[in-house]
Structure 1
Amino acid sequence: MISRVWSNSLLLSPAVIVASFVVLPSTVLAEVSTNEQVQPEFSVVSELSQSEQAQVSSVSQLSDVQPTDWAFQALQSLVERYGCIAGYPNGTYRGNRPMTRYEFAAGLNACLDRVNEIIATATSDLVRKEDLATLQRLQEEFSAELATLRGRVDALEARTTEIEANQFSTTTKLNAEAIFAVTSVFGDRAADRDNNSNNNPDLQDNIIFADRVRLNFDTSFIGKDRLRVRLQGRNITEFQGNVTGTRMTRLGFDGDDDNDLVLDDLYYYFPLGDKARIVVSAANTELNSLVETLSPFESSGTGSISRFGRFNPIYRTVGSTGLVLNYQFSDRASLDLAYMVRDPEDPSGENGLFNGNYGALAQFIFEPIKNLNLGLTYVHSYNAGGSNSGVNLTGSTGSTNAVRPFGNASTSADSLGLETSWRISPKFTLSGWLTYSFAQSEVSDDNADILNYAVTLAFPDLGGKGNLAGIVFGMPPKVIESSQVEDQDTSLHIEGFYRFQVTDNISITPGVFVITNPEHNDNNDSILVGTIRTTFKF
C-alpha cells in the first residue's frame, strides 16, 4: 500500500511519494491500485499551491517521522537536496494514509515541476542520474493518469469560467415551484346553515384546470442568515362560498389572483448566538414556515391536498407580519415565541402594528423518547370587527360559525393546542393534533368554545423512494358551546392521497377528501373534492 501524503485541506509535496519509489523495488509499482473510477479527494487546481503548505527545512520538524522509519533517509534526502517536502501546519507528516493512482499522478507531476525548476536554475548537479531515471520511469508508468488529470483540469476550468459568467448572483439562489392541478367537487347541493335541505343552491361542480407558480429568491449575507423574497402567480379557485357553501372544502394550495404576479412572502432571519434565531417577517408569511408544526403533510405543494389536512389550524390564527424567536435548548427541546399581525401597513381604524388583528404564540416542543415529538402551543389572538380582513378565528377552516361565532364583532380568543408526531418506523409516521379555543366577544359578554382535532397516517417511500401516501381523519373547527349559536351536528374530514415522485423534480399527487355533514349540519349532503396535483420544483 502506498502512503497518502496530503488530505482534503492541505497537499503535502508529491516529491515525498517519489521518495517511496527511490527506495522500493520496481515490483511495488505493479501493486498500485488500478481502479481508475476512484475520484481524487482534492482539487488539483486549488491544492497544488505551495503557498498553502508548511515548508520544512529538516525532517526533524515533522513530529510523526522518526529516524527508525523505513522512509526516513529518503525523506531526509528530499528535504536537504530538493526542498521538496511540505508538512501540515501542525507539524505532522501523516505518511501512512492511503492514496489513489490519480493522487499519485498529481504528486508526481508536481515533483517533476520542482526538478525542472532546479535544472532551470543551473543546479542540475544536485540531481542524480539514478533519480532522473526513476522519475522518467514513473512518468511513463503514470502517463495515462497524467493525461486524464490534465483533461479534467481543463474541463473544470472551462466549467468554472462558464458558471462565473452566467451565475445569477454571488449571494442569491433562485428556487421555484409550479403546480398544475385538475380538480373538481362532487355532490348533490352546496351547503348552508339552515335546517331546510330543499333550498340549498346547486353545487358548482365543473372540472377546472388551474395553476400556481412561486419564485423564491433566497439571499445569505453571512452564511447563517436568509432573506426570502417570493413572487407568486395563481388562479386556483377557492372551493367555498358560492361554489360549495363551506370553507371545509378548500384545497391546501388554492388562491386566485388571476395569475397576476404578487409579492407573496418576505422575511429575514439571522442567528442570535449559537441557540437562537430571530425572524422578521414583512409581508404574507405563513407561520408554519417559521415554526415547527410536527405535521408530515405541511407542504402545500407536496403534502396534504386539503387546507385543513396540512397542519393544526391554530397556526393560522395569527397574522402574516411580525417577529419570531426560535430557541433550541438541545436536540430534544425547543421554544418558539411569535407576535404576528395582519394589517400593519394600514393606520386607519383598528389596524396598524399594535391596534389591529394580531396573534401572540408560545410553543414548546420536546422529544420525551426517540422518534416521538410532542408540541404544546398557546395562542392569544384578537380580531377587529369591521376591519379589512374581518374576524377569522380558525384561519378559514371549519364552519362559518367557528370562523365568526359572534358575527363580525371584535373577538379575542385563547387557544390551546397539542401536536404530536411518532415515527414508528422509517416508513410509517403517526401524527395528529387537538385544539381547544375559548372565544370572547369584545363588545358583549358572549363567549364560545371551539374544538378541532385530526389524526394523520404517513407512509414515506411507499412503492418507491420519495413517494408518500397519506391519510387524514378529523373534525374541522366546531363551536361545541356558545352563549349564541352552537353547531348542532358534526362534520368529519376524511382524506387520502398518494404522491408519486416521478423524478427528483416532478411529483404527481392524486387525492380525494370528503366532508360529511358540511358546516356541522346533517341537513347538508356530503361533498367530495378530488384533484390531481402535479408539482414541478426547480
Structure 2
Amino acid sequence: MAIFKRLYWSKTKKIVLSSSVILLSLESNVLAISVTELPLENSINSTSFLEKYNQHGSKKLENITFFTSSNLSDLRNISNLDKNSLAQLTNVHQLRDVNPGDWAYEALRSLVDRYGCIAGFPNQTYRGNQALRRYEFAAGLNSCLNQIERLIASSEAVAVEDIKTVKRLTQEFETELKQLDTRVNNLENRIAALEDNQFSTTTKLYGEVVLALAGVVTGKNLDGDDIPQITTFSDRVRLDLETSFTGHDFLYVELEAGNTPYRFDYFEGALGFESDTENDVYLAWLAYYFPIGERTEVTLQGVYGTFYDYTDTVTVLDGDGGSGALSYFATRNPIYNTTFGAGAGIRHEFNDVLEITGGYLASQETVSNPTPGNGLFNGDFATLAQLLIKPNDDLKFGLTYVHGYNSETFTGSTLVNFRSFTADNFDETASINSDAFGVEFSWAISVRFVLGGWGAYTKINVLDGQFEDGSLDVWNGAIIFAFPDLIKEGSMGGIVIGIEPKVTNSEGINFSDRPNTDRDTSFHLEAFYQLQLTDNIAITPGLIWLTAPDHDNDNDDVVIGVIRTTFSF
C-alpha cells in the first residue's frame, strides 16, 4: 500500500469543470451584476474548503441572488451580461459611453425612477456621477422595456411620453440590445447543456492521471553498486467524487491505482506521485468537511487522511505529485507527512491575518485493529497544531508543531525516513515518540516570482526496546524559488535546494555497524518546468540531484531525470 497521500486538489490544481452563474449583489449603494465562470469545486495552491466557503458561503450570500436555468427569464433584468468581464455595474451613472449630461442618460434615469426597472436602492433612485458603457446602458434599458411591457400587459397606465422615450432609446441602442439578446440565448443554451450532461445534482467527479518517464542518469546505491540506468514508465490514477448535501459541506471519496515502484534502498529522491499498487484500485481517501459558523471548518477523516488535507502547507509547489514539485521532499515540509490514517481536524480564521489549525490522526495500520495497543486512541497516532500568519496577500508564515507516537520505528511518524534508523536497527518491540517544530514561509515578491521555504527540528525519544531512553535530533530544511506564468500563462518553473532529514545528534544509541549520526550532509537539488499545454494537460520535465546520498560522502551522487505528464478532468 502506497504511503504517499494526496493533497486536496484545491491547493494546487486548476479545476476544469465550471458552471455559468449570474450574481446580483446589492451592497450599500452599489448594484453589482456580472456573469462569470465559477468553479464547481474548490482552487492550487491552495485554496481550501474554508476559503471556498468564505467566498461563496452564507456570509456572502446574504445580499446575493443566484439566477439559474429555473429562472432564466429574469436574465433580461440583469445589467451586465458580459460573461468575460468581472466589472461591476453600480447604476446608470457608471456607463462609460453614456455620460450624465446625455439625454439618453437622463431619460433612462427618469424611467427607472418612475417604473423601478432596477430595484435595490432606496426610493428607486440612482446615485453617483460616472459614465456608463453602452452595453451596460443597454442592459438597463432592456430591464425597463420588460417592466413597461408587463405593465401594459396587465392593463396598467403607461405615459405616452415614456413610450416615445423608450422607442427612441431602443432605436439608438438597437445594436447593443440585439447583442444582449444573443448573449442571453447563448447562456441559456450553455446552462441547458450543462444540466443535461451533469454527472449528478449533488456529486461531481474529478480525475487526475499522471504518466511519467523516469530514470537514474548516474549514481550508485548504498551498497556501492551502479544503479541500472533503465528508463521506467509509471502511472498514478485518481478519481475523486465530491458530494455536497447542504451546499457548504463536502464529502470526498477518492479511488487510486498506480504502478510506480521505489527505485532505491533509501528514502531520498522519492517521487511525489509514487503509488505502487500494481494498478489495483483501492480507496485512497475518505473525508468530510463542514463549516461551523463563518470562519471555522471541521474535517473528519476516515481513510488515509493526512494533516496536509486541511492544513495550509505554505508552499506554492505543493501539488501532491500531480503538479508542482516532482519529489516527495520538495512538495512540502516533511513534518506534515508524520502519519496517515483516521481522525479529525479543525481550522479557524480569527481574522484575515491569523489562522489556527489543529488535528489528530490515528495510524491507518492500527486504527481498525481491536487489539491491545491498537485502535483509534490506543495505537500509533500524531497530533498537529499550526499558527498561520498572513500579514498581506503576498506573504504568509506558518509555525507548526507535531507530536507523534509509534510502536515500531519503521513507520513514517518517526520522521526518520532513511535507512540508517529503520526497524532493521531496532528491536521489533521498540516504541518511540517524536516532537517536531517547523517554520514555513512564502513570499510572492512579484506576480512572477515567489520565494519560500521551511526549516524543521525533530526530537525522537526511544521509549523501550534496544535503545531505551535513547534520543535522536533530526533537522531538515529547504529554500524554494518559484516562477509562476513562466514563458506561458498557467505554467510554472521551480527550483528547490534543501537538506532531507538528517540526524545531527544521538544519545544512548550505539549502532554496531554504522555511525550513530549522519556524519556528512546530503543536498537535494531539484529543478523543473511545468508547461501547461491546456487547462487539462501539463508536461513537467525536471532533474533531481542528490549529493552524498544517505548523508555519506562515500556514496556517489545520484541524478534522476523525470518527465511527468498530468491529465486532469
Instruction: Please give the TM-score of this superposition, normalised by the length of structure 2.
Output: 0.72
Relative to structure 1, the CA distance from residue 44 to residue 105 in structure 2 (aligned partners, 3 Å threshold; closer, same or farther) is farther
Where do residues 51-450 of structure 1 align in structure 2 (5 Å cutoff)?
88=119, 91-95=122-126, 98=132, 99-105=136-142, 107-108=144-145, 110-112=147-149, 114-118=151-155, 153-192=184-223, 200-239=224-263, 244-299=264-319, 300-343=321-364, 344-367=367-390, 371-385=394-408, 390-394=410-414, 397-401=417-421, 406=426, 408=428, 409-443=430-464, 444-450=468-474
CA contact (8 A) 1:284 1:320 kept: yes
Q: Secondary structure at the match of 1:377?
A: strand
Separation in 1 of the partners of 2:416 and 2:424?
A: 10
- Whether contact under 8 Å (2:522, 2:548) holds in the other structure is yes
User: In 2 relative to 1, CA 271–111 (structure 1 residues): closer, same or farther, beyond 3 Å?
Assistant: same
- How many residue pairs get matched? 459
Indicate how the Cα distance of structure 1 residues 362 and 146 shifts in structure 2: closer, same or farther if over 3 A, else same: closer
Are the counterparts in 1 of residues 305 and 361 from structure 2 also a CA contact under 8 Å? no
Cα displacement (A) at 1:47:
4.8
C-alpha deviation, 1:44, in angstroms? 6.3
Contact 1:470 1:496 in 2 (8 A): yes
Contact 2:209/2:235, CA 8 A, preserved across alignment:
yes
Matched residue type, 1:283 = V
Q: Secondary structure at the match of 1:346?
A: coil
Q: What is the CA-CA distance between 1:282 and the residue it aligns to?
A: 0.7
Answer yes or no: is 1:475 the counterpart of 2:472: no
Q: CA deviation at 1:401?
A: 2.1
CA distance in 1, matches of 2:566, 2:145: 51
- How big is the shift at 1:149? 5.5
2: distance between equivalents of 1:435 and 1:160? 49
Identity %: 36
Post-superposition shift, 1:203?
Answer: 1.7
Q: Deviations over 1:36-90 (max 9, x none)?
A: xxxxx998612568xxxxxxxxxxxxxxxxxxx98799769x97xxxx6567366
Which secondary structure state, in structure 2, belongs to the residue aligned with residue 487 of structure 1? Answer: coil
Decide whether the 8 Å contact of 1:318 with 1:360 is kept in 2: no
Mind listing any 5+ residue stretches in structure 1 that lack a counterpart? 1-6, 11-40, 50-68, 193-199
Contact 1:106–1:149 under 8 Å retained in 2: no
- Partner SS for 1:419: strand
For residue 404 of structure 1, report the CA deviation from its aligned partner. Answer: 7.5
Aligned residue type for 1:289: D
Report the Cα distance in structure 2 between the residues aligned to 1:306 and 1:165, rounded to whole angstroms: 41
Q: Which residue of 1 aligns with 2:550?
A: 519
Deviation at 1:307, TM superposition (A): 1.0
Question: What is the alpha-carbon distance in structure 1 between the residues aligned to residue 330 and residue 146 of structure 2?
Answer: 62
What is the match of residue 456 of structure 1? 480
Contact 2:306–2:361 (Cα < 8 Å) also in 1: no
Gaps of 5+ in 2: 1-22, 27-65, 78-104, 511-515
AA matched with 1:115: I
Deviations 1:126-162 (A, max 9, x none): 7788877776666666666666555555554444443
Amino acid of the structure 2 residue aligned with 1:326? R
Alpha-carbon distance in structure 2 between the residues aligned to 1:92 and 1:233? 62
Q: 1:491 aligns with which of 506, 522, 537?
A: 522
The farther-off stretch of 419-428 and 171-180 is 419-428
422 and 498 in structure 1: CA distance in 2 versus 1, 3 angstrom threshold: same
Provide closer, same or farther for how the CA distance between residues 138 and 232 of structure 1 changes in structure 2, counting only shifts above 3 A: same
- Which residue number in structure 1 is paired with residue 74 of structure 2? 46
CA RMSD of aligned residues (A): 3.5
Q: Which amino acid in structure 2 is aligned with residue 422 of structure 1?
A: W
Contact 2:458 2:475 in 1 (8 A): yes
Report the counterpart of residue 533 of structure 2 in structure 1.
502
Distance in 2 separating the partners of 1:227 and 1:316: 22
SS in 1 for 2:148: helix
Change beyond 3 A, Cα 1:402–1:315: farther
Q: Relative to structure 1, is the Cα distance of residues 374 and 127 closer, same or farther in structure 2, using a 3 angstrom cutoff? A: closer
Deviation (angstroms), 1:323 = 1.0
- Deviation per CA, 1:484-518, whole angstroms, max 9, x where unpaired? 22222222211111111222222111111111221
Q: Is the 8 A contact 1:112 1:135 kept in 2?
A: no
Q: State the shift of 1:108 in Å.
A: 2.6
Q: Cα gap change, 1:224/1:511 in structure 2, threshold over 3 Å: closer, same or farther? A: same
Does the aligned pair in 1 maintain the 2:339–2:412 contact within 8 Å? no
Tell me the amino acid that sits aligned with residue 371 of structure 2. Answer: S
- Whether the 8 Å contact between 1:405 and 1:479 is mirrored in structure 2 is no
Q: Residue 524 and residue 112 in structure 1: after superposition, are their counterparts in 2 closer, same or farther (change >3 A)?
A: same
Deviation at residue 91 of structure 1 after TM alignment: 4.6
Tell me if structure 2 keeps the 8 A contact 1:105–1:142.
Answer: no
CA contact (8 A) 1:391 1:411 kept: no
The normalised TM-score by structure 1 is: 0.76
Larger-gyration structure (1/2): 1
Contact 2:289 2:297 in 1 (8 A): yes
Measured in 1, the distance between the counterparts of 2:296 and 2:160 equals: 65
**Aligned-pair CA distance for 1:523:** 2.3
Paired position in structure 2 for 1:53 = none
Q: C-alpha separation between the residues in 1 aligned to 2:530 and 2:445?
A: 20
Give the aligned residue type for 1:438.
K
**2-side partners of 1:73 and 1:492: how far apart?**
69
TM superposition shift of 1:184? 0.7
Shift of residue 103, structure 1, vs aligned partner: 4.3
* SS in structure 1 of the partner of residue 305 of structure 2: coil
Deviation at 1:521, TM superposition (A): 2.1
Deviation per residue, 1:302-321 (Å, 9 max, x gap): 11111111111111113332
Q: CA deviation at 1:238?
A: 2.1
